[in-house]
Amino acid sequence: MSLPVNVEELIKTELIESDRIEFKQGWNPEAILHTICAFANDINNTGGGYVIVGIKEVDNVAQLPPVGLNQNQLEPIQKDLHRKCHYLEPSYFPIVSPEVVDGKHILVIWVPPGDNRPYKAPVKINDGKNKAYYVRRMTSTVKANRNEELQLLEMAANITYDNRINQQASLEDINLTNVATFLNEVKSSLYQQIAKLPAEEIYRRMDIVRGPKESPKPVNAGLLLFANEPHSFFPGAKIEIIVYEDSFGDKFSEKIFTGPIHNQLRDILSYIRNNIIQEEVRKIEGKAEADRFYNYPYEAIEESIANAVYHKSYQEGRTIEVHVRLDKIEIISYPGPLPPVNNETLKKDYVVARKYRNSRIGDFLKELHLTEGRGTGIPKIRNHLKKNGSPEPVFETDQDRNYFLTVLKIHPQASTKAKTDQVNDQAGTKLGLSRDQVEIMERAINEAPIVDLMGIVGRSNRTKFRNHVLNPLIEAGLIEMTIPDKPKSPNQKYRLTDKGKQLLKKI
């Protein structure tokens, strides 16, 4: 059974942390059953894990090329594993996939968090009476101590929200094209099976659909990533960006991003890259090379918004908000971090969280290389800001952890640019132009097609863009078409007129 991950990247632990994967050189049913039990219990809500049979491990690292299994071993091992999983209490059956890596046969056992945790496993494989809870401590599988047993029992009815079945949805709410695009992008071998298998079988192999055959239901993570309109199930599954045009907050433009959450993330980052990020050059006297910097380093913004998508609660109806002010960018999501993270820990260089709100979403984002391992987000933001010469970021929550706020301050030498933009905005307003129209005129100094102009101001509706932004500039004689007698020509472009150039100088 093919898996929805890139197996080679999985083996190199490029997709998940090392404590979520265990390598076994050969078939050792007792040890493997204990590890399956531990991953199914998922005491830290990190998303279960993987056991890979046929690869030797040294110091928690896979030794490649694989030792491999004989091909004639694969089916007997899978049958034996199925029998042994009946020994778990309650029964639990992982997803098993034979794979070939470097010409060697291996067996990948995927163990998502169990719906009926906590689970016990026999201490000795042939003793069905003496059973114990097993958990993961760092990279080891161990018997749960008394405190861990109590924690497991408390978690019995506490499956993470993104991993719960959504009773209000159906299989039809998941878009197979979205699924296929994802599988192809992550180079999963399951992509090759799409034309051969029913959609339900594909979804079950990805563990985004569960339930009895007569009534299969999507899990929330499946809807958030693969439904066309996840906000119809989760009203807060949107990202809003508000760009302020003055220091008082009276003038602003806003845009809302919807659709699968990973597409939202990519779309808003593309918008910010095209409309907010600016590179500047400062020539330093006595220095051969000029200093180059950005008003905001893109990587810091990327990591900040990705963290918000990963860690916000989709049970709440509040969206992620990105406020682009004249001197800073604020990213706010709801609610705040889970305990023990608080304002004090957020001031440290490294923030170690013990619980995760959206482990399944995190796995999907890691597959897409949109986020990385646990605890890396805040250090990466700080490092990118420091490298750019930007001020330190601010990370903040309140005492009750109702929100999480990230503040990225503009580069100190770029502050004059923000002031210049403000003056330009005010001058453009006095002349009856919107900020979008001023930006269009600046771009049309050189000939530009309509799609480029729409991208500059983050517009997606061509008709509205023509009616409200472009046509008024044409009617005022500020820009013109390069092929006026063929307005719908695919080669049509727009350029600034002499009148437009004169006006732009005043702005």
Q: What tens digit of pLDDT does each residue of 104-128 get?
A: 999 999 998 887 889 999 999 887 7
pLDDT of residue 416: 46
Residue 424 lies in a domain: no
Residue 421 has pLDDT above 70, yes or no: no
Q: Tell me the pLDDT tens digit for each residue of 168-209.
A: 899 999 999 999 999 999 999 999 999 999 999 999 999 999
Residue 422 lies in a domain: no
Q: Tell me the pLDDT tens digit for each residue of 208-260.
A: 998 767 778 899 999 999 999 999 999 999 999 999 887 666 678 899 999 99
Residues 278 and 335 in one domain: yes
Residues in a beta bridge with 239: 257, 320
Residues 252 and 400 in one domain: yes
Residue 234 lies in a domain: no
443 or 484: whose pLDDT is higher?
A: 484
Residue 426 lies in a domain: no
> In Å, what is the CA distance from 318 to each residue of 362, 389, 401?
20, 33, 15
Residue 432 has pLDDT above 70, yes or no: no
pLDDT bucket at 428, cuts 50 / 70 / 90: low
Residues 135 and 268 in one domain: no
**For residue 127, what are the contacts with CB-CB under 8 A and spacing of at least 6?**
none
d(CA 17, CA 25): 20
Residue 270 has pLDDT above 90, yes or no: yes
Query: Quick one: which H or E segment has residue 494?
Result: strand 494-496
Range(s) of the domain holding residue 464: 431-506
CA dihedral 185, 190, 193, 195 (to 10 degrees): -30
Residue 156 has pLDDT above 80, yes or no: no
d(CA 191, CA 472): 48
pLDDT of residue 24: 95
Question: HSE (CB half, 13 Å, CA atoms) of 102?
Answer: 12
Residue 243 lies in a domain: yes
Q: With contact defined as beta carbons under 8 Å apart, do 205 and 4 qualify?
A: yes
What's the domain count of the chain? Answer: 4
Residues in a beta bridge with 281: 292
d(CA 186, CA 4): 8
pLDDT of residue 378: 87
d(CA 276, CA 270): 10
Residues 274 and 387 in one domain: yes
CATH number of the domain encompassing residue 448: 1.10.10.10
pLDDT of residue 287: 65
> In Å, what is the CA distance from 47 to each residue of 283, 348, 362, 373?
50, 26, 8, 12
Residue 440 has pLDDT above 50, yes or no: yes
Residues 377 and 365 in one domain: yes
Polymer length of the chain: 507
Task: Give pTM, 2 decimals.
Answer: 0.63
pLDDT of residue 193: 92
Maximum pairwise Cα distance, the chain: 90
